[in-house]
Amino acid sequence: MTTRQRIAIIPLMLMIASLSCSQTRLFHPTPSPTPTGGGTGRIAFSAEKNGNRDIYTMNIDGSNATRLTTNIDWDWSPTWSPDGKQIAFLSVRGGKVEIYIMDADGSNVRRLTNNQSLEGYPAWSPDGKSIVFTSDRNETDLANCATRTTGCNTDIYVIDINNMSEIRLTDSPSPDEGPSWSPDGKQIAFFSFREVNFDIYVMDADGTNIFRVTRDPSIELRPTWSPVTKHIAFMSNRDGDDMEIYVMTAGGLNAMRLTNDQPNDSAPAWSPDGEHIVFHTLYSSGDSEICIMDSNGRNMTCLTYELTNAWEPVWQPNTNKAGTSNP
């Protein structure tokens, strides 16, 4: 399997469910700035222009979209440092999928990982010292693994940003994907096909005490921890064929559906104060855009209708004291 073919696995994991129905989103009035913290930052995301995917940032109302990377190869999957001054991201520059870091204005780009494997889903630790990510470096059949129902074997690793030392956190024959830190840095949520389907799991930050959080006979993906409450947002098709955004307690209780429409909704991310959730929505045309809503699912607004295939939004953190969340 070529590097390009392996890269294609990641967008497929974002979609998972097939897109079967055309749908035009209703545009709501632009949301007002969040009351505590969230209104001052920017949203980082990736988008395509002229067939190439790059990292952008924009204001929370969708204005002032700024392209940060201009490499001829794909750049995607941004994640903010906890102080909001740097962005880590994936790039295939150099022919390999590696994790890179740049300043928030796109300057000072440097490579963090250097392996022959496919790295994915970087997420910065709350203390700013390390980045958790996934890698297929222990897959023994890279030539054929993409044809499996579960895809290639991936495990979760953490890398120290200063000395670049790495620790393997999971060791499973199934794919472990999409790690997300708890706000205190003590736990990591992720999704995996360890049993009968893709479900959400949580483990301690050192890889111990892994437990399964969701047990619905559906697909559950992309967990992301609220910065201010013990809640996790995730995507699931538990109520039908389309992927929707849900929120639940960190223990898997009281799951509440936030979106309810025909496009597939994916990759939720919280505002710094926990009052809003930003995500991308996938249309049957193959296009996607970034939308924002209150953390209870109300007041949905789409932001990136002037850009093509906008993916994986993440909200810039800040150092203000977080407020309280709706869920």
So what's the pLDDT on residue 305?
A: 63
Position with higher pLDDT, 37 vs 317: 317
Six-digit token string for 149? 């129902």
What confidence tier does 241 reach under pLDDT thresholds 50, 70, 90?
Answer: confident
User: Which CATH superfamily, name and number, covers 3-315?
Assistant: TolB, C-terminal domain (2.120.10.30)
Where exactly are the structural domains of the chain? Answer: 3-315
Helices (runs of H) and strands (runs of E) counted in the chain:
2, 24
Amino acid, res. 268: P
pTM of the shown model: 0.86
So what's the pLDDT on residue 33?
A: 41
Position with higher pLDDT, 30 vs 178: 178
Condensed to tens digits (0 to 9), the pLDDT of residues 224-233 reads: 999 998 999 9
Average pLDDT value for residue range 316-327:
54
Concatenating the DSSP letter of every residue in 175-240 gives: -EEEEEE-TTSSEEEEEE-SSSS-EEEEEETTS-S-EE----SS-EEEEEE-SSSSEEEEEE-TTS
Average pLDDT value for residue range 15-37:
36
Condensed to tens digits (0 to 9), the pLDDT of residues 51-108 reads: 889 999 999 999 999 999 998 999 999 999 999 999 999 999 988 899 999 999 999 9
Condensed to tens digits (0 to 9), the pLDDT of residues 118-145 reads: 899 999 999 999 999 999 988 777 777 7
Q: pLDDT averaged over the chain?
A: 85
Q: Is the pLDDT of residue 306 over 80?
A: no
Q: Residue 152 burial by CB count (10 A; 0-12/13-18/19+): exposed, middle or buried?
A: buried
What confidence tier does 327 reach under pLDDT thresholds 50, 70, 90?
Answer: very low
So what's the pLDDT on residue 25?
A: 39
So what's the pLDDT on residue 178?
A: 97
Condensed to tens digits (0 to 9), the pLDDT of residues 169-188 reads: 999 888 999 999 999 999 99
Q: Residue 140 burial by CB count (10 A; 0-12/13-18/19+): exposed, middle or buried?
A: exposed
So what's the pLDDT on residue 240?
A: 85
So what's the pLDDT on residue 94?
A: 81
Position with higher pLDDT, 173 vs 268: 268
